[in-house]
Amino acid sequence: MQSHISINNIYRQKEHNVIHLRDPPMDLTKSCLVISMSLAFTVQAETLTRDNGAPVGDNQNSITAGSNGSVLLQDVQLIQKLQRFARERIPERVVHARGTGVHGEFISSGDFGELTQAAPFAKKNKVTPVFVRFSTVVHSKGSPETLRDPRGFATRFYSEQGNWDLVGNNLPVFFIRDAIKFPDMVHSLKPSPVTNKQDPNRFFDFFSHEATATNMLTWVYTNLGTPSSYRKMDGWGVHAYKFINDENRVKYVKFHWVSQQGVEGLRPNEVTKIQGQNFNHLTDDLYSQIDQGNFPKWDLKVKVISPEDLNKFDYNPLDATKMWLDVPETKVGTMTLNRVPDNFFQETEQAAFAPSNLIPGIEPSEDRLLQGRIFSYADTQLYRLGANLSQLPINQAKANVANHNQEGAANFGNTRSDVNYQPSVNLDLAEDARYRSVNTPLSGTVQQAAIPKQDNFTQAGILYRSLSKQDRSDLITNLSGDLGKVRDSNVKHQMLSYFYQADKDFGERLTKAVNGDLSEVKKRIKS
């Protein structure tokens, strides 16, 4: 019997409508008069955009931490210009991990202009085309879909403001909170550079030094780490983002795709059975159901908090290893997946998702992991597909793209102008000040230090206690299967001490399952 894990057991909450509609527009006749008078006295220049079609607010100044502060990595326009300039010659291409892509549409459930100026949420029943790519995170392109792994849940919205990529997972948190540890984490999870085998001795060695991963490891080793179906898993944005409305008011938000099909994971005995029968079970299930007209749906929900409330939590809300457990969710729309790609390589494999693909009304938060992903994902895609990846049909914005990015490999544009710089008296192309980055107050000094209020264990314990009796037993079975292979007693007992601090029953049962020493586990816990 498949495991049914209800996210609602983890945090109980009521649906609260915290969104207010904007005031109705002025009289239509007056609106037209104002517009016609404005056009009579101004010449409308075509708006400068980024490669995803999003308008540029300022192409003359980098985003800095104050007037004398450092330039910020989140300055997508700066980074994109430098990346493109450095790649005007042909690079090598790298292979991406295994993935499954599907087309569909997103329909807004209301007018959320009070919250954000982002086009997909502009009015009730607004339809935005989407492309979703489900994937495995760690394992290789040809690996079985039954292997334990977080699952990528990347959604591209093809809006009239440009492409917005919401690049998340099927689990709500992540292993680390700082992007500087991302290469180390991935190296530990990937096969050994000597034996080419994935080895629990390697990744638990790494995680024994990273108590931050306790929450995510607990999630991964539940049965959600082996989904029964792509249709039956939720999606999470993981990171906090900023919603910006027309008045430049800022709210911090987290995104959650809630499956209308429910959430199911495979139990340990089912994984072995299905792997022997069909190691493409996730793709086969998704495609066959769509072919039969059973289109899967997800409701998109957001949690919203005000900037002034960031310091009112016992944890840091911008920490990617944490959920916002005590914040209500509001439904903002529904996504339906209804069309299988015509060609795997041209669409699914060449789809280049990146958190830097943002549109007006959505900005990155100060989440340290997200700040690193803004650079690394776009940079990876440029290396993999080349400087002109945005010209590929699957990546091409529906909005008009107007900039001077040209040359490089596989450019099939038809640029005729002699001007490939900005500003210029010979080209009517300018930025639009309405789309400047929002001002964010800062204090403190440039530093290299960990965040306060880390609390690495509480939420892992909440998750454990929320599971059913059967799901707890499966978690112990799944986790002990890998942790029991660790030869180094120091590494094993350090990991056990983390799970014990999350929940005593969790730690005791796991210690027994791997033949650990409970007294040694307790010794490692700091008072």
pLDDT (tens place) for every residue of the chain, 527 residues total: 566 665 555 544 333 333 333 344 444 444 444 444 444 444 577 888 888 888 888 877 778 787 666 678 888 887 887 777 655 533 323 323 689 999 999 999 999 999 999 999 999 999 999 999 999 988 888 889 999 999 999 999 999 999 999 999 999 999 999 988 888 888 899 899 899 999 999 999 999 999 999 999 999 999 999 999 999 999 999 999 999 999 999 999 999 999 999 999 999 999 988 888 888 999 999 999 999 999 999 999 999 999 999 999 999 999 999 999 989 999 999 999 999 999 988 899 889 999 999 999 999 999 999 998 999 889 988 888 888 999 999 999 999 998 888 788 888 888 888 888 888 888 888 889 999 999 988 888 877 788 889 999 999 999 999 999 999 999 999 999 999 999 999 999 999 999 999 999 999 999 999 999 999 999 999 75
Q: Is 120 among the domain residues?
A: yes
Distance, in Å, from the CA atom of 10 to the CA atom of 70, rounded to the nearest integer, reads 40
**Any catalytic annotation for residue 338?**
no
Binding site listing for heme: 377
Residue 214 contacts residue 204 (beta carbons within 8 Å)? no
Q: Is 100 among the domain residues?
A: yes
Contacts of 424 (CB under 8 A, 6+ apart): none
Q: Find the CATH number of the domain harbouring 286.
A: 2.40.180.10
Binding site listing: 377
Say which of 52, 96, 403, 493 is annotated catalytic: 96
Tokens 């931490």 — which residue? 65
Q: Is 300 among the domain residues?
A: yes
Q: How many domains is the chain built from?
A: 1
Q: Please name every residue paired with 135 in a beta bridge, in sequence order, or none if there are none.
A: 99, 152
Say which of 169, 316, 388, 456 is annotated catalytic: 169
Alpha helices, H only, 334-412: 368-385
**Any catalytic annotation for residue 96?**
yes
Range of 239's domain? Answer: 50-175+225-403+427-435
Q: Is 40 among the domain residues?
A: no
Distance, in Å, from the CA atom of 465 to the CA atom of 472, rounded to the nearest integer, reads 8
Residue 111 contacts residue 245 (beta carbons within 8 Å)? no
Q: Is 202 among the domain residues?
A: no
Q: Is 366 among the domain residues?
A: yes
Is 123 strand, coil or helix? Answer: coil
Q: Is 466 among the domain residues?
A: no
Contacts of 344 (CB under 8 A, 6+ apart): 101
504-513 and 458-466 helices cross at what angle (nearest 10)? 80
Q: Is 253 among the domain residues?
A: yes
The end-to-end CA distance of the chain, in Å, is 42
